[in-house]
Amino acid sequence: MTDEYTALQKYISTYRDPNAIKAEGFADEAEKKKNKKVPAWKFWVKKDKSADADEAVVPEEWLEADIKQGISNQDVESRRTRFGYNEITTEKENLFIKFLMFFTGPILYVMELAVIIAAGLQDFIDLGVIIAILLLNAAVGWYQEKQAADVVAALKGDIAMKAVVIRQGQEQDIKARELVPGDIVVVEEGASIPADARLICDYDHPEDFEKYKELREQHALNPEEDPAGSEDQEGEDGEGEGIQHQGHSIVAADQSAITGESLAVDKFMGDTVYYTTGCKRGKAYAVVTHSAKHSFVGRTASLVQGAKDQGHFKAIMNNIGTSLLVLVMFWILLAWIGGFFRHLHIATPTFADNTLLRYVLILFIIGVPVGLPVVTTTTLAVGAAYLAKQQAIVQKLTAIESLAGVDILCSDKTGTLTANQLSIREPYVAEGEDVNWMMACAALASSHNIKSLDPIDKVTILTLKRYPKARDILKDDWKTEKFIPFDPVSKRITTICTLRGDRFTCAKGAPKAILNLTNCSKETADLFKEKASEFARRGFRSLGVAYQKNDENWVLLGMLSMFDPPREDTAQTIVEAQQLGVPVKMLTGDAIAIAKETCKMLALGTKVYNSQKLIHGGLSGSTQHDLVERADGFAEVFPEHKYQVVEMLQQRGHLTAMTGDGVNDAPSLKKADCGIAVEGASEAAQAAADIVFLAPGLSTIVLAIKTARQIFQRMKAYIQYRIALCLHLEIFLTTSMIILNLTIRSDLIVFIALFADLATVAVAYDNAHSEQRPVEWQLPKIWIISVILGVELALFTWVVLGSMYIPNGGIIQNFGNIQEVLFLEVALTENWLIFVTRGARTFPSFQLVGAIGGVDAVATLFCIFGWLSGGIHQEPLPDPLSQYWYKQHQSGRTDVVTAVVIWAYSIGVIIILAITYWLLNKIPWLSDLGRKNRSVHDTQMENIIGHLSKLALKHEKDEHGEPRWVISQKAAEEEEDD
Quick: pLDDT tens for 338-353: 988 888 888 877 777 7
d(CA 650, CA 628): 11
Terminal C-alpha separation, the chain? 59
Contact yes or no for 367/617 (Cβ under 8 A): no
Q: Which of 208, 254, 271, 412 is catalytic?
A: 412
Identify the pLDDT of residue 881: 41
Identify the pLDDT of residue 871: 62
DSSP 424: E
Q: Is 36 exposed, middle or buried (0-12, 13-18, 19+ CB in 10 A)?
A: exposed
**Global confidence as pTM:** 0.73
Mean pLDDT, consecutive 10-residue stretches, the chain (978 aa), reads 70 64 37 45 46 63 90 89 80 76 81 88 84 81 70 57 88 89 89 89 90 84 59 39 65 74 77 85 90 79 52 76 90 92 82 82 85 77 82 82 91 78 85 92 89 80 91 91 82 91 92 90 91 84 92 92 83 89 88 84 85 66 83 84 88 88 78 87 77 81 91 92 94 91 87 82 88 90 96 96 83 89 95 93 93 95 90 49 56 91 97 96 88 66 60 67 68 40
Identify the pLDDT of residue 245: 67
Asked about 237 being catalytic, the answer comes back as no
Identify the pLDDT of residue 974: 39
Q: Which domains does the chain have, with CATH numbers?
A: 312-387+705-873+881-928 (1.20.1110.10), 392-419+565-694 (3.40.50.1000), 423-563 (3.40.1110.10)
Identify the pLDDT of residue 911: 97
Identify the pLDDT of residue 494: 93
Q: Is 484 exposed, middle or buried (0-12, 13-18, 19+ CB in 10 A)?
A: middle
Report cis status (omega within 30 of 0) of the bond before 565: no
d(CA 602, CA 574): 8
d(CA 61, CA 731): 78
Q: How far from 885 is each of 312, 585, 811, 864, 876, CA to CA, in Å? A: 54, 73, 14, 20, 7
Strands 184-188 and 492-499: unpaired
Contact yes or no for 879/809 (Cβ under 8 A): no
Identify the pLDDT of residue 472: 92
Identify the pLDDT of residue 582: 93
